[in-house]
Amino acid sequence: MIVSFKNDDPVYENWCKSYPNGFVLNRTSLTNKKTDNNKIHLSNCSHLTRSNGQGQQTKTIPKVCSINLSELIEEAHLLCGESWNMCQTCKKKIEK
């Protein structure tokens, strides 16, 4: 199941806690037109919390989440076309 979070940090944080092995599409390109840097991370990736403060994570950058990676990849294609990739750090963890 795909779930989207926008300006709803408490619910997003709950989701991440419930699914530490879930996946998060970080839709960076919606706020920064210069980048096509939408990235899929594991929900516990430190990159997701790095740029935004506590309580601000879904305020500027909407998140699209799923516990199923192939489902989220399909959704990324629908939403972003080719403008997304896997976080390199998370990719290594997934491949292990």
Residues lying near Zn ion in the complex (CB under 5 A) are found at 41, 45, 47, 87, 89-90
Whole-number minimum distance, CB 96 to Zn ion, in Å?
14
Q: CB of 35: closest distance to Zn ion in angstroms?
A: 16
Q: How far is the CB of 84 from Zn ion (least distance, A)?
A: 13
Residue whose CB is less far from Zn ion, 80 or 87: 87
Q: Residues 84, 25: contact at Cβ < 8 Å?
A: yes
CB of 53 vs Zn ion, minimal distance in Å = 18
- By C-beta, is 6 or 47 nearer to Zn ion? 47
Check: CB of residue 13 under 8 Å from CB of residue 57.
Answer: yes
Report CA-CA distances (Å) from 56 to 6, 12, 63, 68, 74.
Answer: 10, 11, 12, 25, 27
Burial class, 73, CB count within 10 angstroms (exposed 0-12 / middle 13-18 / buried 19+): middle
Nearer to Zn ion by Cβ, of 37 and 89: the residue is 89
Closer CB to Zn ion, 54 or 88, in the complex: 88
State both tokens at 46.
Answer: 């430190």
